[in-house]
A and B are shown apart, each in its own frame.
Chain A
C-alpha cells in the first residue's frame, strides 16, 4: 500500500500533503477560470478567437437548460455551466500524462451529486413552499400516500448515489484502461520473448493508445453531459409546477 502511494507521488503532479484528487480538482477549476478570463479579456459584439469558444460553450449549456427545464432553465446557468465544465475538464485531465481525473475519486463525485441533491430540494421548496413541495411526494392516489412517500424518498436518495457511481465507474474504467495499456507497454518491453512477437505486441499497444484516448475524450464529454442533463432534469422537475407539466 505504501509502495503504491509512493509510486502515485512519483507519477502524478501533486501538492505535498494535499490529496491528489483535490489538487486535480483545483487545477481543473483553474483551467476553466483562466480560459474563461482569456475569452472575456476584450469582449466584442462580433466574437473572435477564445471569445468564440467561450460563447459557444455558454450558448450550448444555456440551450440545454432551456431544453431540459424550459424557460426557468437559463436562471440556473452558473450552476450548470460550472458543473458541466468542471466534470468535462476533470475527465479530460486524466488523458494527460502526469494528471489524474478528479472525477475518478468517489468523494469528489459525491460532493458534486450532493450539491445537486441539496439544490434540487432547496429550489423546489423555494418555488412551491415546503408543504406544496412535499405534497408532490404523496400521490395521487392519496390513500396510498405513505407508500408513495417512502418510494419517493428512496428515489430521491438513490439519485445522488446513481449520479456518483455512474460518473465514478465510467471515468475509473477509462483511467484503468489507459493505465493498463501503459503498464502492458512496459511489461512487453521487459518480458523475455521472440523479438517479432514483442514488436507486434508493442506496436499493438502503441496504436491502441490514441484510440483509447479518443474514446476517453468521447466518454469524458458524454459523462459530463449525462451528469449535467440529469441534474437539470432533477432540478427542473422540482421547480416546475403541476400546471406547467
Chain B
C-alpha cells in the first residue's frame, strides 16, 4: 500500500537535516574545494595569459631577427659587391703598372744593349789597332817585300770585314 500521507515531523526534521547538511558540506569540503578550484582557474588563466604574452614577444623577436637577418644579408651582398669591385680595380691597376714597368724595362734594356754595343765596338777597334800594330811589327821584323806587305794588309782588311 502506497503511503501518500505527509508526516509533518519527518518533513520538518528533513528540512533541518538538509539545511544542516548543506552548511556542513560547505564547511567540511566545499569551501576548500571552491577556493582551490578558483585558485587553479586563476593559475591556469595566468599561465595562459603569460604564454600568450610570451608568444607575442617571441613573434616580435622573430620578426626582429628576420629583419636583422635581411639587413645582414643585404650588407653581406653589398660588401661582396664592393670587394669584387675593389679587387677588380686592384687587378686592373696592377696589370697597368706591370705593363708600364715592362715597357720601361724594355727601354732600359735597349739602352743598355746600345751601350754594350758601343763598348764592344770600341774594344774591337782597339783590338784591331793592336793587331795591325803587331802585324806591322812582324812584317818589319821579317823584312817582307812590298808586294807581300800589301798582300798582308789586304788579307787583314778582308779578315776585318768578315768580323
Contacts and interface: CB of A to CB of B under 8 A. Distances in A.
B62 to A, nearest CB: 32
A29 B17 contact: yes
Interface of A: 19, 21-22, 25-26, 29, 32-33, 36-37, 39-40, 43, 45, 54-55, 58-59, 62, 77-79, 81-83, 85-86, 102, 105-108, 110-112, 114-115, 172
Contact of A33 (B6, B14, B24): B24
B19 A106 contact: no
Question: What's the dominant secondary structure at chain A's contact region?
Answer: helix
B25 A106 contact: no
Interface of B: 2-15, 17-19, 21-22, 24-26, 28-30, 32-34, 36-37, 39-40, 43
Contacts of B26: 78
Nearest to A114: B15
Contacts of A21: 10, 14
A115 B15 contact: yes
Question: What's the dominant secondary structure at chain B's contact region?
Answer: helix
A21 B17 CA distance: 12
Contact of A111 (B15, B24, B34, B43): B15
22 contacts: A19-B7, A19-B10, A22-B14, A29-B21, A33-B29, A36-B25, A39-B33, A45-B39, A45-B40, A58-B33, A58-B37, A77-B30, A78-B25, A79-B22, A81-B30, A82-B22, A106-B3, A108-B10, A111-B12, A111-B18, A114-B15, A115-B15
